[in-house]
Amino acid sequence: MPGMKHERLYLAPVVGVDEAGRGPLAGPVVAAAVILPAKGVPRGIDDSKKLPATERARLCARLTDCAIVGIGIVEAEEIDALNIYWATMKAMTLAVDQVAATLGCAPGHVLVDGNRLPRWGYAATPIVGGDALSRSIAAASIVAKHTRDSIMLRHHDSYPHYDWASNKGYGAPAHRRALAEHGPSPLHRRSFAPVAQTVLPL
């Protein structure tokens, strides 16, 4: 389970940051930033990929209640304009900016999952595999993943043939078949090759 070793290395409050949704063909990229409380941290925080959806939902609700949380969302149209890398960096910046606004000042340090940092003015450290090493980053991964999945579930009824309730916008076979048959929706990332190569129906 992720610990607090990395958080203890830096000036408090320390923010953990992670994103969800770099790879899908549709929907936004979502980043979350989380400062865990000194006491009352929910049990079971882990890399979101290791948790079932029901547990992510439970933990996200608990974290929203007890932690300082910021969320950054960049939609498909802006992903196409910026490219997915810079869209992810923007989502992370938006999330940390929300936390800073809640604090009324910049956080002491930011821990970011991965090997790159946004171009921002915050003191920060990237940690490869951070969602498995840092509890704050793992918490952020849970919030980001649950938030993004919830967005895709809300859109499922508007575009049911893509089966986003199941695949959340990733390139699953049923999603690709529907894309080939129906063409892209307004939520699709048209700069992504499988979408760009789709022949629109006449």
| Residue 184 lies inside a defined structural domain of this protein | no
22: domain range?
A: 7-160
Burial 122-149 (b: 16+ CB within 10 A, else e): bebeebeebbbbbbbbbbbbbbbbbbbb
Q: Per the annotation, does 157 bind a ligand? A: no
| Residue 132 lies inside a defined structural domain of this protein | yes
| Under 8 Å between Cβ of 51 and 83 | no
Q: Give the total number of structural domains in the chain.
A: 1
| Residue 2 lies inside a defined structural domain of this protein | no
pLDDT in tens, 90-110: 999 999 999 999 999 999 999
Query: What CATH number does residue 73 fall under?
Result: 3.30.420.10
Say what the pLDDT of residue 199 is: 60
Q: What is the mean pLDDT of the chain?
A: 96
pTM of the full structure? 0.96
Give, in order, the Cα–Cα distances in Å from 163 to each of 104, 123, 167, 175.
42, 41, 6, 6
> Mean of the pLDDT values across residues 146-175?
97
Q: Using only the alpha carbons of the chain, give its radius of gyration.
A: 17
| Residue 191 lies inside a defined structural domain of this protein | no
pLDDT in tens, 119-129: 999 999 999 99
Give, in order, the Cα–Cα distances in Å from 170 to each of 96, 119, 139, 166, 192.
26, 28, 22, 9, 12
Burial of 48 (0-12, 13-18, 19+ CB in 10 A): buried
Instruction: Classify the C-alpha dihedral 78-134-96-53 as positive or negative.
Output: positive
Confidence of residue 201 (pLDDT cuts 50, 70, 90): very low
pLDDT in tens, 37-71: 999 999 999 999 999 999 999 999 999 999 999 99
| Residue 195 lies inside a defined structural domain of this protein | no
Neighbouring residues of 97: CB distance < 8 A, sequence distance ≥ 6: 70, 72
| Residue 178 lies inside a defined structural domain of this protein | no
| Under 8 Å between Cβ of 93 and 17 | no
Cis omega (within 30 of 0) on the bond before 107?
A: no
Confidence of residue 202 (pLDDT cuts 50, 70, 90): very low
| Under 8 Å between Cβ of 125 and 109 | yes
> In the chain, what percentage of residues exceed pLDDT 70?
98
Is residue 135's pLDDT more than 90?
yes
Say what the pLDDT of residue 198 is: 84
Torsion of CA 18, 22, 24, 30, to 10 degrees: 40
> Mean of the pLDDT values across residues 74-83?
98
| Residue 196 lies inside a defined structural domain of this protein | no
> Mean of the pLDDT values across residues 21-26?
98
Give the Cβ contact number of residue 110 at 10 Å.
29
Q: Per the annotation, does 19 bind a ligand? A: yes
| Residue 42 lies inside a defined structural domain of this protein | yes
Q: Per the annotation, does 113 bind a ligand? A: yes
Q: Kindly state the tokens that stand for 145.
A: 């993943």
Give the Cβ contact number of residue 173 at 10 Å.
9
